[in-house]
């Protein structure tokens, strides 16, 4: 176990410390927000390998691709994580390997959304913090 020593306080090192976010606030010290996107293909491959996702928030845009990565004794999270800073919502654009482009506007931050190819966001798939 790794321990974090801060002046007189000693406690186990947590994942929040590794992300430089040891704030007790649920969304980080600066009130920052996030969005996770899980993709499920229908015409394209079910894992959505090769899909590209653009997330637009405020004046910024982030892009990520769903890729297949694995190695001996390892795995990668198939969900795409986007940090939104202080923005509380974002627009999502998915470019599927089949050529279909889907756009979802005004998605609330701090949740996991599942987007199914050709159907958009499916209800009941969110993972909001309490």
Q: Which helix (H) or strand (E) holds 36?
A: strand 33-40
Domain 33-130 in CATH 3.30.160? The answer is no
Average pLDDT of span 50-68: 96
pLDDT band at 77 (very low <50, low <70, confident <90, very high): confident
pLDDT bracket for residue 124 (50, 70, 90):
low
Write down the pLDDT at residue 105.
Answer: 97
What confidence tens digit (pLDDT) does each residue in 7-30 have? 445 555 455 444 444 444 454 556
- What's the angle, vertex CA 95, arms to CA 92 and CA 100, rounded to 5? 115
Distance CA 80, CA 82 (A): 7
Please count the CA atoms within 13 angstroms of the CA of 68 that sit on its side-chain side.
Answer: 6
Q: What is the DSSP letter of 77?
A: -
Alpha helix (H) ranges present in 1-130?
15-18
Task: Delimit the domains of the chain by residue range.
Answer: 33-130
């Amino acid at each position: 176990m790794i321990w974090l020593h801060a002046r007189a306080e000693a406690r186990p090192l947590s994942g929040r410390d590794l992300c430089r976010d040891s704030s007790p606030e649920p969304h980080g010290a600066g009130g920052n927000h996030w969005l996770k996107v899980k993709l499920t293909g229908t015409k394209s491959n079910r894992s959505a390998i090769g899909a590209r996702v653009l997330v637009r928030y405020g004046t910024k845009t982030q892009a990520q691709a769903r890729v297949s990565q694995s190695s001996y004794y390892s795995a990668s999270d198939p969900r795409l994580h986007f940090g939104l800073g202080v923005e509380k919502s974002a627009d999502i654009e998915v470019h599927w390997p089949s050529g279909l482009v889907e756009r979802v506007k005004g998605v609330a931050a701090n949740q996991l959304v599942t987007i199914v190819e050709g159907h958009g966001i499916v209800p009941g798939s969110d993972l909001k913090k309490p």
